[in-house]
């Protein structure tokens, strides 16, 4: 089971990432513009990550025990919640955080890290 410490370790391993307390919760953002790519919820049992609005419903329908929205909070944002206990370990947590990081990263950061910039092809 993934923990808040795992989130912190993996998120901070990504280029340009830093941790900043906001809204009473740890957020993980990019140093250059402060774009948030992940946030621990107050109970440390779930995280919020960037996710295109048009992809959220499919992810939630496929794995409702893993993915969810916080009603009234996430409705208008490209954001998705992930239950840490439902993850299959570090590899899945890394993939989710990396995907969110890619969405927040400016082109200059993606260009500087081409190995992280695009997802591997199946």
Measured between alpha carbons, how far is 51 from 37 in angstroms, rounded to an integer?
10
- Report yes or no: 18 and 12 within 8 Å, Cβ to Cβ: yes
Taking the model in full, what pTM does it have? 0.94
- Report yes or no: 14 and 101 within 8 Å, Cβ to Cβ: yes
Phi/psi of residue 80, nearest 5 degrees? -140, 145
In the three-class reduction of DSSP (H, G, I as helix; E, B as strand; rest coil), residue 61 is classed as helix
pLDDT in tens, 15-74: 999 999 988 899 999 998 889 999 999 889 999 999 999 999 999 999 999 999 988 888
């Amino acid at each position: 089971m993934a923990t808040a410490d795992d989130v912190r370790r993996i998120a901070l391993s990504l280029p340009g990432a830093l941790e900043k307390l906001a809204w009473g919760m740890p957020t993980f953002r990019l140093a250059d513009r402060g774009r948030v790519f992940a946030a621990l919820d107050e109970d440390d049992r779930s995280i919020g990550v960037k996710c295109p609005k048009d992809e959220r419903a499919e992810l939630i329908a496929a794995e409702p025990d893993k993915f969810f929205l916080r009603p009234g909070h996430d409705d208008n944002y490209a954001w998705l919640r992930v239950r840490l206990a439902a993850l299959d370990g570090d590899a899945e947590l890394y993939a989710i955080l990396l995907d969110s990081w890619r969405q927040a990263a400016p082109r200059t950061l993606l260009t500087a890290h081409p190995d992280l910039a695009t997802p591997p092809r199946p």
